[in-house]
Amino acid sequence: MTLATSPSQMLRLQEIPKLNYAATPDRFDHTWEAPLSMLLGLGRAAGADFIEFFLERNNYISCMAEEDAITSISPRLVTGAGVRVFKGKGDCYVSTNDVTFNGLKAALEKGLSIMGLLLPSAMTHVPEVALELMRDYGSVRGKEHWLTNCSSMQVMGDVLLAANDSLRKQGSHVQSRRTAYFRDWQEVLVAASDGTFARDIRLTQSVGCNLLCADGDHRASISQRLGNTSDPSFLTAWDYEQTTGSISESAGKMLYADYVESGSYPVIMANHFGGVIFHEACGHLLETTQIERETTPFINQKGEKIAHESLTAWDEGRSSEAFGTIDMDDEGMPAQRTLLIENGVLKNFLSDRAGEMRTGHPRTGSGRRSNYTYAAASRMRNTYIASGEYSLDDLFASVDKGIYCKKMGGGSVGATGQFNFAVEEAYLIENGKLTRPLKGATLIGEAVDIMQKISMCSDDLSLAPGFCGSVSGSIYVTVGQPHLKVDSITVGGR
């Protein structure tokens, strides 16, 4: 870093344009400390209570194979930054793709003006904000070579075409085959007026297959997706034969399945992606963004029983290679484990900086955003219901007539937890045994109600990758649960 004026001096505002900052343009390293310290000091001198800069470099590529051809390759390179300005309990966010000192200064000035704040007079002294010694998770965790070690475009195409060919060979009455992969590399830097100064590198990858089978009026569509953080060799290590075999087997069973009869049933929900219902119908209601809007039924129930005593649930960012794993959140706070529900009792909410300020619930390392164009908000990471004390046999033995939901599909959730979810693969349970496949099932209910009816959790917790859209964009998350029994739920069908 070179400066025209010594950084130890307290500069006057009129001298700032003369500064010559030489921050490294293609890497977020310690050379960014001096310009960001000065900009944060400038914001404080203008009267802001708190200022935060978020800088991002992003290298993304996706690839799709349909039938026996690569039909799409979509690369994206992005660099940008955002600044958030707080005054009292109000705030604003301004983003820019100009990450020079002057570009960041212009974004800061825009944010200050939105909050009714103006730069002081030219003769005002501007003290820099002292930042901590950079917490560099990218270097400390050995992430610097992740991007260069990822699969090439040639390898991407070869693997996806091989998976599609495997679907052709293993499937029956195949109508269409599709396999898609993406790799998302991100370098981020956070600097804030409380001294936060932290850098991280993220690598998120996912691959998924979809198989559509048809025979006359009979149709079955089954999909499966895998995800990973931190392993550059994820795609080449993927056992696509196992994935395509599982999909083909499920599609074959569902092709001639009977339609489910509507009614109220006891339901056993599978582990893995079955956790999407808890994520959607309950997890969002435990984010402080919902408390701020007063749209969660749990707003004043911390310390109270909100679920069956068999249910314990966590949200955390530390599980190895899980889709929502992060070393720090997008406000620079280190990842941690947050106990949401313990034996049915609500223990904590998920909170970001604004959530802590406006609701009083302490930050949980949950400030997340899709990219630099969004301000961070309280969001989930790896969210799951914990393993219970029962075996899978115990769950099935407890059901005389019900439905086993093996694979969940898409759905929708209302603002206060009303939900409906399609089931891709389901089976009738009779006298504790699976008897025949069913299709057309939709689970319908409300979070407040279903949480009290999850009476048994098995001992086979499994996690699955997912994508979550909310006020700060689409982010990568993990959903999960063991197999669990819902004593009664409305099932839509025919």
In this predicted structure, what is the pLDDT of residue 300? 95
Question: Average pLDDT in the 357-385 region?
Answer: 98
| Residues 82-134: tens digit of each pLDDT | 999 999 999 999 999 999 999 999 999 999 999 999 888 777 788 899 999 99
DSSP 390: B
Residue 253 CA to its chain's centroid (Å): 32
Classify strands 367-368 and 377-378 as parallel, antiparallel or unpaired: antiparallel
Provide the pLDDT confidence category of residue 325 given band limits of 50, 70 and 90: very high
- What type of residue sits at position 10? M
Beta strands per DSSP E along 172-239: 174-192, 197-215, 218-229
User: Burial, 246: exposed, middle or buried (Cβ in 10 Å; 0-12, 13-18, 19+)?
Assistant: middle
Indicate the DSSP class of residue 275.
G
Q: Residue 346: which residues within 8 A CB-CB, separation 6 or more?
A: 286, 298, 301, 302, 303, 304, 305, 306, 340
> What are the residues whose beta carbons fall under 8 Å from the beta carbon of 102, sequence distance 6 or more?
none
Q: Which residues contact 186 (CB under 8 A, 6 or more apart)?
A: 56, 57, 58, 59, 201, 202, 203, 204
Angle at 237 between CA 231 and CA 239, to 5 degrees: 135
| Least confident stretch, 74-83, 124-133, 284-293, 419-428 | 124-133
Radius of gyration of the chain from its Cα atoms, rounded to whole angstroms? 25
CA dihedral 482, 485, 488, 492 (to 10 degrees): 50
The CA distance from 242 to 204, in Å, is 22
Q: How high is the mean pLDDT of the chain?
A: 94
Residue % of the chain over a pLDDT of 90: 89
Q: All domains of the chain, ordered by start, with CATH?
A: 11-63+74-137 (no CATH), 147-188+201-257 (3.30.160), 263-492 (no CATH)
User: What is the Cα–Cα distance from 158 to 163, expressed in whole angstroms?
Assistant: 9
User: What pLDDT is recorded for position 350?
Assistant: 98
Q: How many other C-beta atoms can be found within 10 angstroms of the C-beta atom of residue 74?
A: 10
**Least confident window among 10-19, 344-353, 373-382:** 10-19
CB 147 within 8 A of CB 59: yes
Query: What confidence score (pLDDT) does residue 131 get?
Result: 97
> Distance between alpha carbon 378 and the CA centroid of its chain, in Å?
11
Which residues on adjacent β-strands are paired with residue 203?
A: 185
Residue 412's pLDDT band (cuts 50, 70, 90): confident
153-170 and 240-255 helices, crossing angle to 10°:
40
- Say what the pLDDT of residue 9 is: 52
Both structure tokens of 277: 């219902």
Question: What span, in angstroms and rounded, lies between the C-alpha atoms of 320 and 7?
Answer: 41
C-alpha to C-alpha distance for 391 and 414, rounded to whole angstroms: 33
Q: How confident is the model at residue 10 (pLDDT cuts 50, 70, 90)?
A: low
Answer whether residue 220 shows pLDDT above 90. yes
| Per-residue confidence band for 1, with pLDDT thresholds at 50, 70 and 90 | very low
| Per-residue confidence (pLDDT) for residue 124, from 0 to 100 | 78
The number of beta carbons lying within 10 Å of the beta carbon of residue 483 is 28
Burial class (CB in 10 A: 0-12, 13-18, 19+), 32: buried
Residue 350 half-sphere exposure toward CB, CA atoms < 13 A? 33
Residues near 29 by Cβ (< 8 Å), separated by ≥ 6?
134, 136, 199
pLDDT at 30 over 60: yes
d(CA 478, CA 476): 7
